[in-house]
Amino acid sequence: MSLASVRWLTALAPVVLLLGVWHAAVVLSGSLIFPTPVQVAAGLVDLARQGLLLKHVVASLFRVTVGYLLAVALSVPIGMLMGWFAGAHALLNPLVQGLRPISPIAWIPLAILWFGVGDLSPIFLIFLSSFFPMVVGTAAGVMTIDGKYLRAARNFGFSGLRLFRSVVLPAALPQIVTGMRIGLGVAWLVVVAAEMIAVSSGLGYLIIDSRNAGNRYDLVVAGMLVIGVVGFGLDTLMRRLERLDEVRWRYET
């Protein structure tokens, strides 16, 4: 048996064990509400046949993509300014640190008030939730750059934008990407919560609608599993990004 096969079996073993325990618990408890794994799988197949599964996944991914990319576009430049210029840090850090602990969920009433019921409300919440981890990560990445890199670059005549582009940004990339990974994970959590309240599509809406439409807990659990699978996929993509040589510029390989 190859090493790859062993790794796959090792990864699948806990999943198979969990499914077995889940099925046994439902059967032994005699529950008439909580579904078995087979019932959840049947619910997923039914959603896929109706085209609803793809519709809800695409809706959630659309909102996450727009809100997250807006946050990246704004948070990375601001974080770099905060990390590089002491004045910018002194001015902006109290605001960032004051707003950062506020749960994105607490913004839901204001988001609905400002943007109404529709895509803009969850996009705004996703933007907020992912903006602050990326600002903090970017600023920390710039502030912790080893001074020997900067001194060496200046000795070779690097300054201004050239220094920023060739040394500061590459050296800060590991922590920028870490902040992006955290921000994406939080964004995926928040979009599900926001969709339970502010829109009529997406995986969050699927869960709450299935609960309200005759206690379809097979679809509730199916929606939860899809959320986990998609979230795992997004995190895997970010982990692959962390392994790029350009991102590891600051570290020995």
Give the domain ranges of the chain: 58-242
Neighbours of 64 (CB within 10 A): 23
CATH of domain 58-242: 1.10.3720.10
At residue 253, the pLDDT reads: 44
DSSP 8-state class, residue 35: P
At residue 129, the pLDDT reads: 92
Q: Note the pLDDT tens digit of each residue in 110-165.
A: 998 999 888 899 999 999 999 999 999 999 988 888 777 778 878 777 777 778 77
- pTM for the structure as a whole: 0.86
Distance, in Å, from the CA atom of 224 to the CA atom of 217, rounded to the nearest integer, reads: 10
DSSP letters spanning 122-185: HHHHHHHHHHHHHHHHHHHHHHT--HHHHHHHHHTT--HHHHIIIIIHHHHHHHHHHHHHHHHH
| DSSP3 helix / strand / coil % (the chain, rounded to 5) | 80, 0, 20
